[in-house]
């Protein structure tokens, strides 16, 4: 119940950002991300296509393509709450599914094996400095990351940070969080 309240409170704060503030903060996060070793060393980057309140990933995806990176986007299976990543090289390969999520069209994209992904950019609504997060409630990323051995990081606005959140046994921390103000290695890696 506390997770749900924290998620809802932070979603309200995110919606209160002005367009100008959103664009400026997303730009600063993107700039910091491109300076990281994780970005520079990764050949294949897993990332979601952002929705209205999330850090803008469309410009990040475009810059990844320009840098010669392989971009993979999740395709969720709502029946068993699992996901796979599929490679995209154009936004035309996306289709809008439930909750206005944009996912790769299976007819025009190829599946990418987990072991071939170097970096997963993990979305969320609320984050702690030790890398734990509250996502959107489906548990897709915790299940996927349970057997993932590459790097993980999250892109978040400062207003998404919280001192503490309820942590469950299956919750997995990310390795790094990047905000418009700073980047930090998370102290609670599994």
CATH number assigned to the domain comprising residue 119? 3.40.50.10420
The Cα–Cα gap between 167 and 161 comes to 15
Identity of the highest mean pLDDT range in 1-5, 177-181, 185-189:
177-181
Whether residue 138 is contained in a domain is answered as yes
Whether residue 190 is contained in a domain is answered as no
Whether residue 56 is contained in a domain is answered as yes
Least confident of 37-41, 52-56, 124-128, 137-141: 137-141
User: What's the confidence (pLDDT) of residue 190?
Assistant: 44
User: What's the confidence (pLDDT) of residue 100?
Assistant: 79
Please tell me the pTM assigned to this model.
Answer: 0.93
The Cα–Cα gap between 119 and 48 comes to 12
- Other beta carbons within 10 angstroms of residue 110's beta carbon come to 10
Whether residue 178 is contained in a domain is answered as yes
Give pLDDT tens digits for 149-158.
999 999 999 9
Whether residue 74 is contained in a domain is answered as yes
Say how many domains are in the chain: 1
- Can you give the C-alpha Rg of the chain in angstroms? 16
Residue found by looking up tokens 């709502």 in the block? 78
- Other beta carbons within 10 angstroms of residue 87's beta carbon come to 17
The Cα–Cα gap between 68 and 167 comes to 37
Whether residue 148 is contained in a domain is answered as yes
Whether residue 6 is contained in a domain is answered as yes
Q: 94-96 and 102-104 as β-strands: parallel, antiparallel, unpaired?
A: antiparallel
Whether residue 136 is contained in a domain is answered as yes
Residues in contact with 167: Cβ distance below 8 Å, sequence separation at least 6, in sequence order: 132
Range of the domain at 144: 2-185
């Amino acid at each position: 119940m506390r997770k749900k309240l924290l998620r809802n409170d932070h979603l309200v704060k995110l919606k209160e950002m002005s367009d100008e503030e959103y664009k400026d903060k997303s730009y600063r996060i993107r700039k910091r991300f491109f300076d990281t070793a994780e970005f520079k060393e990764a050949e294949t980057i897993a990332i979601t296509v952002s929705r209205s309140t999330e850090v803008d990933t469309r410009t990040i995806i475009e810059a990844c393509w320009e840098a010669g990176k392989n971009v993979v986007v999740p395709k969720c299976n709502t029946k068993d709450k699992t996901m796979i990543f599929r490679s995209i090289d154009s936004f035309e390969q996306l289709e809008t599914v439930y909750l206005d999520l944009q996912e790769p069209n299976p007819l025009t994209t190829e599946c990418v094996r987990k072991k071939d992904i170097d970096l997963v950019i993990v979305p969320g609504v609320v984050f702690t400095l030790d890398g734990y997060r509250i996502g959107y409630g489906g548990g897709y990323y915790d299940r996927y990351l349970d057997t993932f051995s590459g790097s993980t990081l999250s892109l978040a606005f400062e207003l998404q940070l919280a001192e503490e959140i309820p942590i469950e046994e299956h919750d997995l921390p990310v390795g790094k969080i990047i905000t418009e103000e700073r980047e930090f290695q998370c102290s609670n890696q599994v």
